[in-house]
């Protein structure tokens, strides 16, 4: 018997978008492009159960309704396009500092950044450290909203390499990107959000 998709959403909708019916297998990436304001971020936040929605979502065949909210968000990790920081020091956001330093180095960041204040980080540094924070959680599903939006070509390549590693390890990724070339590089499936509906490109 075939295993269930790693992530599946059925009749997922809100007052602003949907319904969405999507399925992403382990080791696969669904890339979503579309104009600003079309509903891409809302779609990710609905899967993460951060915005009001109806319908059902499953992780490895287990319904979202069977999880507590914190357990669901640990397993289905959402990385916002504008990452949040809840204390002044970067290191406070990483429970495993040695792993964080290693990940930062792979993303082309100086390890010393982890010992400094968030306020001194550039936009690109914040973006890469937020991606590192999400990848280090080893969640089976990653919801990535413009994970490389403000980054230069070298940094994008480094980030994509890490994303491919997570896919090779069995994670499922749903990624929002404004870059059709990135959608083609990383995405096993590519859909376009138009006025709150997912459609083929």
The verdict on residue 67 lying in a domain is yes
The pTM is what?
0.95
Task: Give the pLDDT mean for 100-127.
Answer: 95
The verdict on residue 98 lying in a domain is no
The verdict on residue 108 lying in a domain is no
The verdict on residue 112 lying in a domain is no
pLDDT of residue 150: 86
Task: Give the pLDDT mean for 86-115.
Answer: 95
The verdict on residue 162 lying in a domain is yes
The verdict on residue 190 lying in a domain is yes
Q: Distance (Å, rounded) from C-alpha 110 to C-alpha 37?
A: 34
- pLDDT for residue 35 is more than 70: yes
Q: Is the dihedral of CA 69, 72, 77, 78 positive or negative?
A: negative
Can you read off the two tokens belonging to residue 37?
A: 């304001």
pLDDT of residue 4: 83
- 98 confidence band (pLDDT: 50, 70, 90): very high
Give the count of beta carbons closer than 10 Å to the beta carbon of residue 126.
Answer: 18
- pLDDT for residue 1 is more than 60: no
The verdict on residue 59 lying in a domain is yes
In total, how many domains does the chain have? Answer: 1
In the chain, helix, strand, coil percent, each to 5? Answer: 40, 25, 35
- pLDDT digit string (tens) for 126-175? 999 999 999 999 899 999 999 998 899 999 999 999 999 999 999 999 99
Print the domain residue range for 19.
7-82+138-199
The verdict on residue 123 lying in a domain is no
Q: What is the CATH number of the domain that holds 162?
A: 3.40.50.300
- pLDDT digit string (tens) for 49-70? 999 999 999 999 999 999 999 9
């Amino acid at each position: 018997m075939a295993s269930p998709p790693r992530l599946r959403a059925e009749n997922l909708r809100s007052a602003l978008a949907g319904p969405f019916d999507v399925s992403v297998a382990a080791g696969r990436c669904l890339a979503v492009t579309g104009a600003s304001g079309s509903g891409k971020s809302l779609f990710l936040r609905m899967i993460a159960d951060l915005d009001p929605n109806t319908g059902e979502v499953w992780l490895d065949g287990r319904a979202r309704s069977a999880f507590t909210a914190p357990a669901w968000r640990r397993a289905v990790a959402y990385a916002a396009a504008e990452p949040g920081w809840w204390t002044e020091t970067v290191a406070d956001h990483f429970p495993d500092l040695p792993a964080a330093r290693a990940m930062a180095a792979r993303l082309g960041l100086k390890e010393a950044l982890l010992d400094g204040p968030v306020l001194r980080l550039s936009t690109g540094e914040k973006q890469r450290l937020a991606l590192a924070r999400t990848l280090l959680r080893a969640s089976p599903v990653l919801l990535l909203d413009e994970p490389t939006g403000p980054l230069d070509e070298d940094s994008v390549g480094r980030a994509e390499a890490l994303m491919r590693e997570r896919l090779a390890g069995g994670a499922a990724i749903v990624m929002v990107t404004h870059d059709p070339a990135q959608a083609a590089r990383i995405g096993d499936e590519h859909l376009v959000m138009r006025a709150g509906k997912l459609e083929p490109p």
